[in-house]
Amino acid sequence: MDTYECRACHRSAGRLVLDLGEQPACDYFPAAGDPGPDPVYPLQMWLCSSCGLAQLRADPTVPEEPRGAESAALVEQAAQAVEQVALAGLLPARGVVTEYGSPHGGSWLGMLAGRGLVPSPDGGQADVIVDCFGLMHAADQRAALAERAARMAPGAVLLLQYHALGTILRQRQWNALRHGHFAYFSTAALASMLADAGLSPRTAWRFSLYGGTVLLAATRAGEGGPDAEVLSLLDEDARADVRDPEAFADLQRCVDSHANSLRDWLIRERSAGREVLGYGAASRAVALLCRARADRTLLPAVADASPAKHGLRMPGTDIPVAPPAALAERRPTSVLLFVPDLLAEVRRAYPGVESAGGRWVDAESLGSARLQQDA
Ligand SMILES: [Zn+2]
C-alpha cells in the first residue's frame, strides 16, 4: 500500500476523488509530424481528509507548455481586480510589490506600477504580494505558502487568486484537472493553509473568469479577521460539502458522459458532411479530446492564436494545431470552443465564422440538454 502525503498539511489520510485514467502530459505539444504514441501518466485528484485541499495525486511530467496567447478576458479581469483591491483601500499609496506569477501569463506588475508600487528586489520583503494563479503550480504547497508569508512586510497584504473548487464541482469542470496544476482551492482549504502559515483571510472578490474565480486578500493573523464576503464563501463551501469525497461523485460521473456526448456529436456532424474545427489548444481540451477518442477524421484541426503552438499537434491525438486563418479557409459549419471565456473575443476577432454561416459551439456544455436539442 503506497502512502501519499498531503501537499499542504503533510498528513496521509485522504481519498482519490477524480480519476481520469492514463493521460498524456497536457503541457507537452508534440510536433505535428511526431507519430506518437505519446507517453501517458495517471491523472488523479486526491482530497485531503485533514486540511481539505483537493490536489493532483502525482505529477511525473515536466512543464513544457508553449506560452499561450493572453486572453482579453484575463487582461480585463486583472484590471477589474486591481481596481477592486484599490477601492477596498488595500493598496498602499507607495510601496513595494512582488509577484508570484503563473507560467500562463497575466502579470499585474504594470498596472500596480501605475499606482505607485515598485517591484521588490529578488527575495526582499514587500507590502503587496500578488499571486495570480501562481500557487497552484507549486508541488509543495506548504513550502510555497510559507515562502510568500515570509516575504510579507508588517501590514502587508497577500492577494491570492484561484479558480474556485466550488465552481469546478458546481459546473462539473472535470477537465480542470491537469498535470502541473497541483492544487484546486476551496476557500475553506485555503483558510486552513493560511492559518498554518500564520495568516488570516480578510476579504475577497468574485469574478466570472473560468466560471467562478476568487481573489482572496490575506494578512498576518494578528492584523484582522475575515469579513462578511469571506464568511459567505466559507458558508458556500460548507453547503457544497467541498471537504466531502461524496461531493465529487458527479464530477467523476460527468467524465464519460461529457466525452461520449462530444464523440457522438462529432460523429453525427461528420456523417452529415458538416465540418467541425476546434478553437483554443488549451490544457483542458487535451483530456476531453483524449477521453472522446477524437482524431483528425472527426476534428481536422484546432485553431489557436498562439504562434508557439502552430506546427504542433494536440497531445495524445493526431489533431494538428493551426493558425486562426484556417477558420476563414475551411469555413467550418461549427467551431468547437474549448475555452468558453473566449467566446466574446473570438466572435469579435473572427466575424467570418458566423458571416459564412458557421456557429461557435461551447465544448464544455456539449453534454447539456440545450445542445442535444440543438443538434
Ligand atoms: Zn492536507
CA Rg, the chain, in Å? Answer: 21
Q: What is the DSSP pairing of strand 95-100 with strand 54-56?
A: unpaired
With residue 335 as reference, give the H or E element that holds it: strand 334-337
Chain mean position to CA 207: 13
pLDDT of residue 359: 97
Cβ neighbours around 303 below 10 Å, total: 26
Q: How far is the CA of 103 from the centre of ligand 1 (A)?
A: 25
pLDDT of residue 121: 80
Q: Which residues surround ligand 1, an ion (CB under 5 A)?
A: 6, 8-9, 48, 50-51, 53
pLDDT of residue 144: 97
pLDDT of residue 368: 57
pTM of the predicted structure, to 2 decimals: 0.90
Residue 132: strand, helix, or coil: strand
Q: How far is the CA of 85 from the centre of ligand 1 (A)?
A: 29
Q: How far is the CA of 253 from the centre of ligand 1 (A)?
A: 25
Q: What is the DSSP letter of 312?
A: B
Q: How far is the CA of 54 from the centre of ligand 1 (A)?
A: 8
Residue 248: strand, helix, or coil: helix
C-alpha cell belonging to residue 3: 502512502
pLDDT of residue 106: 78
Q: How far is the CA of 164 from the centre of ligand 1 (A)?
A: 17
Q: How confident is the prediction along the chain (375 residues), in pLDDT tens digits per residue?
A: 468 999 999 999 999 999 999 999 888 899 999 998 999 999 999 999 999 999 999 887 665 555 666 778 888 899 999 999 999 999 998 999 999 988 777 789 999 999 999 999 888 999 999 999 999 999 999 999 999 999 999 999 999 999 999 999 999 999 999 998 999 999 999 999 999 999 999 999 999 999 999 999 999 999 999 999 999 999 999 999 999 999 999 999 999 999 999 999 999 999 999 999 999 999 889 999 999 999 999 999 999 999 999 999 999 999 999 999 999 999 999 999 999 989 999 999 999 999 999 999 999 888 653 344 443
CA dist., res. 251 & res. 372, Å (int): 20
- Compute φ and ψ for 334, nearest 5 degrees: -135, 145
pLDDT of residue 67: 62
Q: Which of 237, 222, 264 is nearest to 167 (CA)?
A: 237
Q: How far is the CA of 232 from the centre of ligand 1 (A)?
A: 22
Residue whose entry in the numeric block shows the C-alpha cell 488549451: 282
Q: Where are the alpha helices (DSSP H) in the chain?
A: 72-87, 109-113, 141-150, 165-170, 187-196, 228-239, 249-271, 283-291, 325-330, 343-349, 352-355, 369-374
pLDDT of residue 372: 40
User: What are the strands of the beta sheet with 321-322, ordered from one edge?
Assistant: 321-322, 302-303, 276-279, 334-337, 359-362
